[in-house]
Amino acid sequence: MMEKQALPASSCSLVLLEETKKSPITLSNGGGGSGYAPAAANGSLVPLTVAGTGVAGGVVGTACVGQDKKGGVVNGAGPGYQERETWTRQMDFIMSCVGFAVGLGNVWRFPYLCYKNGGGVFLIPYLLIVFVGGIPIFFLEISLGQFMKAGSINVWNIAPLFKGLGYASMVIVFFCNTYYIMVLAWGFYYLIKSFTATLPWSSCNNEWNTPSCIEIFHHQDCKNASFANITIGSSNMTCADLADARSPIIEFWENKVLNISSGLDEPGKMNWELILCLMAVWVLVYFCVWKGVKSTGKIVYFTATFPYVVLIILLVRGVTLPGAYDGIMYYIKPNWSKLEEAQVWIDAGTQIFFSYAIGLGALTALGSYNRFNNDCYKDAFILALINSGTSFFAGFVVFSILGFMAAEQGVDISQVAESGPGLAFIAYPKAVSLMPVAPLWAALFFFMLLLLGLDSQFVGVEGFVTGILDLFPGKHYHRYKREIAVAICCLLCFIIDLSMVTQGGMYVFQLFDYYSASGMTLLWQAFWECIVVAWVYGADRFMDDVARMIGYRPFPWMKWCWSFITPCVCIGIFLFHLVNYKPLTYNNVYVYPWWGEVIGWCLALSSMLCIPVSLLYKLFRAKGTFKEVNKTGGRGRSWTKPSAVTTWRRGVEVLQGPLMDWTFDSDVLTQGEI
């Protein structure tokens, strides 16, 4: 086929618009193979782009490449606009999603919830909500980013009235980036302390220990009430004193690592060792992210896979320990009566939204770097299987160790089973201190913990920076724009993190963890994502868009979930959380002051209010009656974008999506706009 003569960018855009008007490609909402563009040799669609040549449905995409004023080559994206990066290979995307979604929650939260909510029975509500909530929204976010080729803010150009969804996700992921890295700083601190002949948390002979410290509790010796006043062990403690005794690992955590104060109102002094650990982790994150997905996609091959190697090693070691069988039985033994409790279903839903990283916008950013015809539908199921499978597998590792710990102390498994930081920095370090060659196992565990958190952290930063940079397109081009943006993001988060390395830092950390990225904020975000895509943009319309990318129409179950099932699940769990709200406490003892709760709710509402506030702002700023505004936005343009996405750049219409199913309003191409 003979190529047309190269045209300037503006002429190219107008020619393509005219060609599209003359030969529109339509696709009925009902689906069917006849409406889609012909597939390539490998079975995928051939999307039309502005730069390059191709044929789809009879419309020819012309190579519109010419010289700009400075002599450089310009493509259909207009002068000064760089093409979006893509993954070097598709496995880079898979590994990045695995690294981001498979994190600490899979190891320290799911096993505890499974044990707490009836063992193997918990898998019933868990898997049910995976299919009605987790996978549909996971797929929605990835496919939306892939179709729009934009970060978490600009993807909502499909419905600009609801662009507040993008700003909300940016707020949430910023808060997550800010406080989540503290877990990595603590893990890095423990990792450094593991390289000693004797683990510092295994004995009571340290400067931070108190007279109440005891290494072995001797519970068996105190079961007989007649021996209540005898002295046990070599600690000069009686059985009556045992109730107030503290283990060396708890004292290391609270007195050495945290040096915790009495409350939120006593910030105290900073811990310089933690500051250095925090700085080191942020520097590591910066150099993982600063060059974009080309470098990030390589790093995650190690950070996402090596934790599995460590988990397998720990499992092999764990199942050979005494008491491991009892621990695993506690983990999987079914308790069918638990299915009658509402809390079990709520825990299952909340865990899905946490572990699948839904509502943070990072999945959208990762999807935006995919090739247009990547099969994101298949990817969503693969990633869901890996995520949930990792959670279930990690339970065997954790509970084999906890079973050993319970056997060593002579207590029930329920007294050592913990979740969150309590498992990572108290229960597990205590368990490895009881093993032969303890420093080796401690170093392995905390190295795994560091890697699990690191890839989640730098993909979260990647998602935030991508959304910010999408707000400043090519006309703001700077050679080191990305490096500067990542540096500013890391520095700002580091400054906020300084409040968490003080003596009152743990109270600040819990405020962020409990409110800023809580179950309520993520459920609120997921609810509106489904509503906007299904009812504002149109579920059938979006299914057609997905079909254009992957070459076939997904199973209608996805559409039903986006339209009805998933929003009901989200709002149901959200209301349950709201009705059963309990004030935040630390260790079930310290109750936060009223002004602390106010700060927490401000953190939560700062993201949740982005959606209604942005909507009202756009409505009040638009011209005309409400009916006119709802139809055209007061600017002669619809609030919902057509399927072939366009942007107005320097007076030129630039096509960013496939030239399919394009519709034109009679008043769009008005004088002054072109």
DSSP string, 201-228: TS-S-STT--TTB-S---GGGGSSGGGT
What's the distance, CA 631 to chain centroid? 34
Asked if residue 106 belongs to a known ligand binding site, the reply is yes
Question: What pLDDT, in 10s, does the model give residues 262-314?
Answer: 999 999 999 999 999 999 999 999 988 887 666 676 788 888 888 898 889 88
Question: What pLDDT, in 10s, does the model give residues 404-413?
Answer: 878 877 777 7
Higher-confidence residue: 528 or 430?
528
pLDDT at 318 over 80: yes
- 435 Rama sector, left if φ>0, alpha if ψ -120 to 50, beta otherwise: beta
What is the rounded average pLDDT of the residues 185-201?
Answer: 92
Pairwise CA distance, residues 483 & 481, whole Å: 6
Report the mean per-residue pLDDT for the chain.
Answer: 77
Q: How many CB atoms lie within 10 A of CB 651?
A: 11
Higher-confidence residue: 481 or 554?
554
Asked if residue 387 belongs to a known ligand binding site, the reply is yes
Pairwise CA distance, residues 413 & 558, whole Å: 41
- 609 Rama sector, left if φ>0, alpha if ψ -120 to 50, beta otherwise: alpha
Q: What was the pLDDT predicted at 672? A: 30
Indicate if the alpha-carbon torsion angle 36, 41, 43, 48 is positive or negative. negative
pLDDT at 73 over 60: no
Structure tokens at 228: 């209540």
What's the distance, CA 329 to chain centroid? 31
Asked if residue 102 belongs to a known ligand binding site, the reply is yes
pLDDT band at 240 (very low <50, low <70, confident <90, very high): low
pLDDT at 390 over 50: yes
Q: What was the pLDDT predicted at 478? A: 66
Question: What pLDDT, in 10s, does the model give residues 414-448?
Answer: 777 766 677 788 877 887 887 788 899 899 889 98
Asked if residue 268 belongs to a known ligand binding site, the reply is no
Asked if residue 580 belongs to a known ligand binding site, the reply is no
Asked if residue 11 belongs to a known ligand binding site, the reply is no
pLDDT band at 499 (very low <50, low <70, confident <90, very high): very high
Asked if residue 619 belongs to a known ligand binding site, the reply is no
Q: How far apart are the first and last CA of the chain?
A: 31
Q: How many CB atoms lie within 10 A of CB 70?
A: 8
pLDDT at 561 over 90: yes
pLDDT band at 589 (very low <50, low <70, confident <90, very high): confident
What is the rounded average pLDDT of the residues 466-474?
Answer: 80
Question: What pLDDT, in 10s, does the model give residues 196-227?
Answer: 888 999 888 889 988 888 877 655 556 554 44
DSSP class of 235: T
Task: Specify the 3-state DSSP secondary structure of 254.
Answer: helix
Asked if residue 455 belongs to a known ligand binding site, the reply is yes
Asked if residue 667 belongs to a known ligand binding site, the reply is no
What is the pTM assigned to this prediction?
A: 0.79
